[in-house]
């Protein structure tokens, strides 16, 4: 079935690295995504990874995918106060036409000075 | 357009009234999605349009919910006889289509619906 889980909260100090974790259950997932949602705003696509990759780096963001364990993580290097937001992981699977996304419940990242 | 736009940004309605929420996708995007985000919960898929194909309505929670997409562009989500549990942020997204590709979905700012 489709189930994507994330921890609800993460608190880090400015300048430290943040690691946000996500687990999913559908092994047929083709793409996995990370979205950021700031208060009162819509979702902003941060990055995505294709299922045949195990790592993708984009500036301060590093995505790691362990397909065997169905585990996805987002590492934010040198975390800044502007990174405070809710982060959602999402998976796209071939079922149902293959285009709808299943989202996790979101991880609220709080960056403290 | 530059991005996905939605209107209104906020809507307060009385229980039992009908509401219409509008979404303008990114120009050229053939796929359009509606999601619902309730307080403290993740995003719940509602409905998906792809070109001229029949929409995927598998996420609509009841027959009070319906959506249309006219001319392959603008979409309207209609909720009839609103209930308090319909209060949520309704998000629209669009993506380019194709046989292959990452199908990145780009989201609008959402419509916050409050049913009193």
Q: Which of the residue ranges A31-40, B9-18, B67-76, B93-102 has the most confident prediction, judged by mean pLDDT?
A: B9-18
Average pLDDT over residues B95-108: 73
A contacts of B59 (beta carbons < 8 Å): 100
Task: Give the model's confidence band at B40: pLDDT under 50 very low, under 70 low, under 90 confident, else very high.
Answer: low
Residue B83: its H or E element: none
Taking the CB of residue A15, how many other CB atoms lie within 10 A of it?
A: 11
Q: Is A50 on the interface with B (CB under 8 A)?
A: yes
Q: How do residues A19-50 score in pLDDT, each as one tens digit? A: 999 999 887 778 899 999 998 788 999 999 99
pLDDT at B1: 52
Whole-angstrom CA distances from A59 to A62, A75, A78, B47 are 8, 11, 11, 34
pLDDT of residue B99: 44
Sheet holding A18-24, edge to edge: A4-6, A18-24, A71-76, A61-66, A55-58
Closest CB to A41 among B48, B106, B109: B109
Pairing of strands B111-115, B10-13: parallel
Block residue for tokens 């690295």: A17
First CA to last CA distance, chain A: 41
Q: How many residues does chain A have?
A: 113
DSSP state of B56: B
Higher pLDDT residue, B93 or B53? B93
| Termini Cα distance of chain B | 34
Q: What percent of chain A has pLDDT over 70?
A: 93
State the count of interchain CB pairs (< 8 A) between A and B: 58
Can you tell me the mean pLDDT for B92-111?
Answer: 79
Q: Does A88 sit within 8 Å of B106, measured CB to CB? A: no
Mean pLDDT for all residues in chain B: 90
pLDDT tens for residues A71-81?
999 999 999 99
The encoded tokens of residue A67 equal: 């397909």
Instruction: Give the 3-state secondary structure of residue A19.
Output: strand
B47 touches chain A (CB under 8 A): no
Is A93 within 8 Å of A1 (Cβ atoms)? no
| Pairing of β A9-13 and β A107-112 | parallel
Look at residue A1 in the predicted model and tell me its pLDDT.
46
Give the other-Cβ count within 10 Å of A106's Cβ.
25
d(CA B60, CA B45): 8
Cα angle: A66, vertex A54, A4; to 5 degrees: 45
Q: DSSP secondary structure string, B12-74?
A: EE-TT--EEEEEEPPTT--EEEEEEE-TTS-EEEEEEEETTSPPB-TT--STTEEEEEGGGS-
pLDDT band at residue B14 under the 50/70/90 scheme:
very high
**Which residue of B50, B59, B108 is in closest CB contact with A99?**
B50
């Amino acid at each position: 079935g489709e189930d994507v889980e994330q921890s609800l909260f993460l608190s880090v100090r400015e300048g430290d690295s943040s690691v946000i974790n996500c687990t999913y259950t559908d092994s047929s997932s083709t793409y996995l995504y990370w979205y950021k949602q700031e208060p009162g705003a819509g979702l902003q696509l941060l990055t995505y990874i294709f299922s045949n990759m195990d790592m993708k780096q984009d500036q301060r963001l590093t995505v790691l995918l362990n397909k065997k364990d169905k585990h996805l993580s987002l590492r934010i290097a040198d975390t800044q106060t502007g990174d405070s937001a809710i982060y959602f992981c999402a998976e796209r699977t071939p079922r149902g036409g293959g285009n709808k996304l299943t989202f996790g419940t979101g991880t609220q990242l709080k960056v403290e000075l | 357009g530059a991005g996905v736009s939605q209107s209104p940004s906020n809507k307060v309605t009385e229980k039992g009234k009908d509401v219409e929420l509008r979404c303008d996708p990114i120009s050229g995007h053939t796929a359009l999605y509606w999601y619902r985000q309730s307080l403290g919960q993740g995003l719940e898929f509602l409905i998906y349009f792809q070109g001229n194909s029949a929409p995927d309505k598998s996420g609509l929670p009841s027959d009070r919910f319906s959506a249309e997409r006219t001319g392959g562009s603008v979409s309207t989500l209609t909720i009839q006889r609103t209930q308090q549990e319909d209060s949520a942020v309704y998000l629209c997204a669009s993506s380019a289509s194709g046989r292959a590709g990452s199908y990145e979905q780009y989201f609008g700012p959402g419509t916050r619906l409050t049913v009193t």
